[in-house]
Structure 1
Amino acid sequence: MTDTGAAGAEAAGRLELCAVMPVYNEEEIVGSVAESWLEVLDGLGIHYELVAIVDGATDASEQVLRAVAERHPRLVVDAKPNSGHGPTILRGYRRGAVTAEWVFQTDSDDEMPAASFGELWELRHDVDAVIGIRSNRNQSAGRRAITQAARLTARAAFGCRLADVNCPYRLMRSSALAPLLAPIPDDTFAPNVVLSGMLARSGARLAEVPVPHHDRTTGVVSILGWKALRAALRSFGQTVRLSRARIPKI
């Protein structure tokens, strides 16, 4: 596979990068987060769009983002009824796989900084995906157990040995990503776990990069306690079922 530069991608009528940011009730910080990503991506000279997908937010997140988009045409605000984090990510991935050479996902809570993206971008020439590893991450015992379970599930189901299979800071080549998206249902709870496994099994060239992780300072974690456990069990079942899908080799 070859990698085209910004000029080549633009000449071909395709973006070089589609950055996907799911958003839910982050009005206090989402404007500054979007601004930081726009600044970093502009500074790297990338032909890109930043797609903020507002997942049925009940606060002013959409209005804040639209105000930013008035000043920054590369920011696209896509508002939709609430369907959950996983389906929102998949919506962005499906768009990006069509419109851009590369697809990147980050969250809108500022737990992983835009400033770290350049290191991932530099690695793209020799790989098909670069997956972040959340470093210095503070987790409750329950969250640590769920994270470990996701890692072990991806390893058992797909033979995937990535350190952080559900990391929401990942860069993927569209030609590697697109065929993997086809068998994934839109309601998949944790598509990043599934995609980590599928990328590994497909023979994709993978790299991992530690990315600083900071505790959130605003907003709320929407899935806690027994709800988090039920979500983990649902994700486990979906991951195992999808491991039976035919995965094309890259």
Structure 2
Amino acid sequence: MSELKIIIPVYNEEGAISDVIHDWTQTLSSLNIDYTIYTFNDGSKDQTLQILNKLAEENDRLQVVDKPNSGHGPTILKGYKENLDAQWLFQIDSDNELKANEFEKFWKARHDFDFLIGYRIHRNSPLPRVVTTLISKLTVGFFYGNRVKDVNAPFRLMRSSKFHDDILRIPDNTFAPNLIVSGIANLRKLRIQQFPVTHHNRETGEVSIKKWKLFKAAFKSLIQTITFRFK
């Protein structure tokens, strides 16, 4: 059984992905972890896939999975479901807004916990994202419990055995599965640890969902999160 598998959904990140893979490879190798980085290319339209394939030729810790575009959430969920054989799963986004140097404190604390998640500090997000983040937290808190501060944070280390069956039950088209995963940690009364992680503004590319589409997507994710709670 692998010790750690890193799940990274990737979409149109040609400007950042090389730095992301380099930083995570360097950090994880320095900690002497038996790990594999799984990048899931979600139908990128730029040079992201070509860059990833070239990196994988030189990095035997990197695996590239190319798939049709289905969205950020379903791509994360695919990564989870296909890698539950690892002792630990860690999910991080590919935009380089959260850095690899924050990971060591999570890994060193893992023995006493089942779910270790970051909460973003110094985050400078536009008002629509602030509002949807708050609504997400309130929804998960009301229906699952409110122990997790940043319910959708893409910096989470999970003991796979504690989430295995529930993750397999999450529908493949779920828009924001990390909300449900945070909810499961609350609902199952798992041992949770939370650390601050510094948020850095995006330096390349752009967010894929904006303005009105963001609110529509948030509404969809909240309905899915609530529906799962009562399955």
Q: TM-score, normalised by structure 2?
A: 0.98
* 1:93 partner letter: Y
- 1:160 positional shift: 2.9
Question: For 1:137 and 1:82, how far apart are their aligned partners in 2?
Answer: 28
Question: For 1:78 and 1:126, how far apart are their aligned partners in 2?
Answer: 32
Matched, 1:127 2:113: yes
Question: For 1:237 and 1:61, how far apart are their aligned partners in 2?
Answer: 32
Question: Which residue of structure 2 lines up, in the alignment, with residue 96 of structure 1?
Answer: 83
Question: Which residue of structure 1 lines up, in the alignment, with residue 6 of structure 2?
Answer: 19
Question: Which residue of structure 2 lines up, in the alignment, with residue 76 of structure 1?
Answer: 63
Question: For 2:148 and 2:177, how far apart are their aligned partners in 1?
Answer: 15
- 1:96 positional shift: 2.0
Q: Secondary structure at the match of 2:197?
A: strand
Question: Structure 2 unaligned runs (5+)?
Answer: none
- 1:182 positional shift: 2.2
Question: For 1:17 and 1:119, how far apart are their aligned partners in 2?
Answer: 15
* 1:175 partner letter: S
Question: Which residue of structure 1 lines up, in the alignment, with residue 221 of structure 2?
Answer: 235
Question: For 1:159 and 1:28, how far apart are their aligned partners in 2?
Answer: 38
Kindly indicate whether structure 1 or structure 2 has the higher relative contact order, using CA contacts under 8 Å at least 6 residues apart: 2
Question: Which residue of structure 1 lines up, in the alignment, with residue 209 of structure 2?
Answer: 223
Question: For 2:119 and 2:174, how far apart are their aligned partners in 1?
Answer: 22
Aligned residue-pair number: 231
* 2:43 partner letter: G
- 1:239 positional shift: 0.6
After superposing on structure 2, the runs of 4+ consecutive aligned residues of structure 1 that deviate more than 3 Å are: none
Matched, 1:51 2:38: yes
Question: Structure 1 unaligned runs (5+)?
Answer: 1-13, 246-250
CA RMSD of aligned residues (A): 0.8
State which of 50, 69, 72 in structure 2 corresponds to 1:85.
72
Q: TM-score, normalised by structure 1?
A: 0.91
State which of 122, 125, 143 in structure 2 corresponds to 1:136.
122
Question: Which residue of structure 2 lines up, in the alignment, with residue 157 of structure 1?
Answer: 143
Q: Alpha-carbon deviations, 1:155-198, whole Å to 9, x = none?
A: 11111321100000000001012121122100000000111011
Question: For 2:40 and 2:123, how far apart are their aligned partners in 1?
Answer: 25
